[in-house]
């Protein structure tokens, strides 16, 4: 099992985070395998992003990679059927769901 750190557009990030988008189409230049983990980090306009909801700022703000909003997903299925050469479609699901009770 490998962990692949990947940039993900904020539009797609929201769809993955909500559970609406359960696949990734990527160039298979990393030798993706079922069981690998994808660390998908929010990325837009050349920088990593973090959601901010403070008095002075509501929305995404540029941050470093280690501060970016990141979702960890498990690769559950891979196919290259009907894809461009070298590309794959990966079925993904959340690696772990953590709920904190106050």
Cβ–Cβ contacts within 10 Å for residue 73, how many? 22
Whether 2 shows a pLDDT value over 80: the answer reads yes
- Tens of pLDDT, residues 23-71: 999 999 999 999 999 999 999 989 999 987 655 666 777 888 888 899 9
**Rounded CA separation 9/50 (Å):** 12
Q: Does domain 3-94 bear CATH number 2.30.130.30?
A: yes
In the predicted model, what is the mean pLDDT of residues 6-11? Answer: 94
What pLDDT score does 70 carry? Answer: 94
Segments making up each domain of the chain, as ranges: 3-94
């Amino acid at each position: 099992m490998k962990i692949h750190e990947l940039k993900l557009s904020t539009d797609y990030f929201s769809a993955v985070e909500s559970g609406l988008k359960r696949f990734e189409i990527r160039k298979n230049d990393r030798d993706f395998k079922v069981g690998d983990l994808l660390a998908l980090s929010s990325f837009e306009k050349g920088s990593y992003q973090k959601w901010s909801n403070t008095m002075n700022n509501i929305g995404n703000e540029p941050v470093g990679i280690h501060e970016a909003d990141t979702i960890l997903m498990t690769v559950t299925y891979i196919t290259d059927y009907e894809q461009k050469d070298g590309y794959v479609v990966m079925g993904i699901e959340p690696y772990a769901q953590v709920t904190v009770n106050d």
